[in-house]
Structure 1
C-alpha cells in the first residue's frame, strides 16, 4: 500500500467529488497521519495586485489531529511560520496555526513573538470584507490587536484533497489511571527499541478549555520525539512534538481565550505533564493531569 492514500476530495464549493468523510475518520481514528492538498492562483491568494495567474499547488502536513465525537476530523499545522511567497517569511515573527476541518472550514491562530505591545483586549472582533480577495470569506474574528488574533474563514481553493498515511499500529491503550485496556507496554517498548516512531491519542486533552469541562468527547493525536523506557518498572514516557489545544467543537476552530499551545510529556500510567504557553502573554505554566491514552507505533 502506498505511504499516502487519498481518501476524500472536495471541490471549490466544498462538496465531495470522490471518497468519503467516513474513510477519513476511520483512518485518523486508527492513527493515520494527515496531509491536505489545495490549489490557488497567485494573483487571487498571494498578491491581488499582480497579473500573475499561475496556479500554485500546496500540500500541508497536519501533525496534530483532532477526532471530535468519534465522527469529525480536523488537523492543525503545529510548526508552521508565516510564509510570504515566493521569497521568504511574513512581516512579523509568529506561528501560523492553520486549522482545516474535514468539510473545508478553516481557521488560523497566530501568536506573535516580536514583543510588540497589544493595543486591544481579547474579545470578538469585526470581520474583514477582504474585497481584494473575493475567494476569501472571513466568518468570525477574535482578539484583533492582541498578541494572539484568530479567525474562522473559508477560502475557495480549487480543490481540497485529504491524504492519509495509515502505516501505524495501535500497541497499547489504557485508562487515565493506567489500567490497561488493550495491548501491552512491553510491545510498545520493544517497537520503540527497534526504532519505530510513536504517536499518542489523548482523550479529553482540551476539556479544561470547554465551557462545561468534558462535555465534548475528543481525542488529540500528537507525535512523540524522545522516548524513555524504565526497564524494571516497565513504564514508558516521552517528549511530544508541539501541540496546539483548542476548545473541541464541530467544526473545530479558535476563539477568545479558548486555545493555547505548548509541549507535553505523556506516560504509560496516564500521567501527562504539560509546559503550556499562554498565547496572549507568552508566559508558560506547568500542568499535570491524567488521561486515557492510546499509543501507536509506525510499521
Structure 2
C-alpha cells in the first residue's frame, strides 16, 4: 500500500512542504487519509508526569470531506479514548476527533454507557486548560449531556497529512442513477475481483443545515465494507463503514445538534438509506434520499 505525505504543517500550522491543493486533489479522488502528529507525554497526556518523552501518533480518518470544492476535513470514526500507555479510560465513548486541512481540530464524544445527564444542550463554558499551554479551546457545546463537543487547536510539533492514492473511480452517476462516467460493468468487474469499494456521496449532510442557511457543496467519502450485486436488476449496493455527518462549513466544526453518527446503504440508482444515531439519546433514526454518487475500487 503506497502512502505519501502531500502536506506538512509546523506547530504554528504554517506550511512546511506540500500543498493544500495536493491534499484536496487526493481526497477528491477517493484517497484514504492518515494524519501524523507528535507531542510530549507530560504536555498532552498527563501534565502531572515528569515524563518529557516525545510521542509520535498516526491516526486514520475513515470519513473524509471535500467542502466547497476547496477544503478538506476528516473524522475519526472508531476510536475509543485511551490513557496511553496504560489502557482505556474508565468511561467508554467514541472519540470522534475532527481535523481540518489547516490543523484546526475538534472532538465530539458520545458516551456509550447511558450515564446520567447533568447539563443542557447549547453553548457551554470553556474548560480550564491553564496547565496545557499548547491547548487552545475555541468553544464548548453540550457539556454534561451524553454528547459534549468542542473545537480547539493543539500545537502539535507537526501535522503530516498522508494519503493513499490507490483508489480508482469506476462509476459516477447522478441522483437518479444516470451514468455520468465509468460504468456499472466496471464496478461489478472489480467486485468479482475481490477489490475494496469506496463511495463519495454529494449533499448527504444537507439536512443538517439550519433553516434559512445557504447550502454548501460537499462530498463525503467512506468505505463500503459489505457489497451486493443484483444480477438481473443490474443494481449494485452496499453498507458503509460508520460515518460522522457534520453540518457543512469551512472550517468544519462541531456545534450543538449539528452532527450525528451512523451508516449508509448507497445503491447505483442514486438511492441512499441511512441509519443514524442521535448521540444525545442513543436512539436511532432512519432517513433516505437520492444523491449523486461516485464509486471507487482498490
TM-score by length of 1: 0.98
Determine the C-alpha separation between the residues in 2 that align with 1:204 and 1:140. Answer: 27
Alignment correspondent of 2:74: 75
Which 5+ residue runs of structure 1 have no aligned equivalent? Answer: none
How much has 1:214 moved relative to structure 2? 6.5
**Which residue in 1 is equivalent to 2:63?**
64
1:213 CA displacement: 6.6
Partner of 2:136: 137
Q: How many residues align?
A: 297
Is 1:18–2:7 an aligned residue pair?
no
- Answer with 240-249 or 204-213: which moved more: 204-213
User: How far did 1:129 drift?
Assistant: 3.5
The residue that corresponds to 1:297 in the other structure is 297
* Structure 1 position 189 matched with structure 2 position 157: no
Structure 1 residues 168-196: Cα deviation after superposition (integer angstroms, max 9, x where no partner): 11011111111111111111011011011
Runs of 4+ in 1 over 4 A off after TM superposition: none
Structure 1 contact 129–138 (Cα < 8 Å) conserved: no
- Confirm or deny: 8 A CA contact 1:36 1:163 kept in the other structure: yes
Change (3 A) 1:296 1:213: farther
C-alpha distance in 2, partners of 1:197/1:83? Answer: 30
CA distance in 1 between partners of 2:154 and 2:213 (Å): 32
Query: What's the counterpart of residue 199 of structure 1?
Result: 198
State the distance in 1 between where 2:266 and 2:151 align: 30
Shift of residue 148, structure 1, vs aligned partner = 0.5
Aligned to 2:126, what secondary structure does the other structure show?
A: coil
Query: 1:167 maps to which residue?
Result: 166
Deviations 1:108-156 (A, max 9, x none): 0000011112111100011124011110000011000100000000000
User: Is residue 152 from structure 1 mapped to residue 160 from structure 2 by the alignment?
Assistant: no
Mapped pair 1:122 → 2:121 = yes
d(CA) in 1 for partners of 2:240, 2:102: 28
Of residues 99-108 and 123-132 in structure 1, the stretch that sits farther from structure 2 once superposed is 123-132
Q: Is the 8 A contact 1:198 1:297 kept in 2?
A: yes
Residue 103 of structure 1 aligns to a residue whose secondary structure is: coil
Which residue in the other structure is 2:263 paired with?
263
Mean CA deviation greater in 123-132 or 14-23: 123-132
> In the alignment, which residue of structure 1 is the partner of 2:243?
243
Query: Equivalents in 2 of 1:226, 1:289: separation in Å?
Result: 20
Between the aligned partners of 1:162 and 1:131, the Cα distance in structure 2 is: 29
SS at match of 2:185: helix
Q: Give 1:91 shift.
A: 2.1
The answer to whether the 8 A contact 1:200-1:295 is kept is: yes
Equivalent residue number for residue 84 of structure 1? 83
TM-score (norm 2): 0.98
Comparing 42-51 with 113-122, which one deviates more in the overlay? 113-122
Q: 1:205, 1:291 within 8 Å by CA — same for their partners in 2?
A: yes
Helix, strand or coil: the match of 2:26? helix
SS in 2 for 1:277: strand
Long gaps (5+) in structure 2: none
Query: What is the SS of the residue equivalent to 2:140?
Result: strand
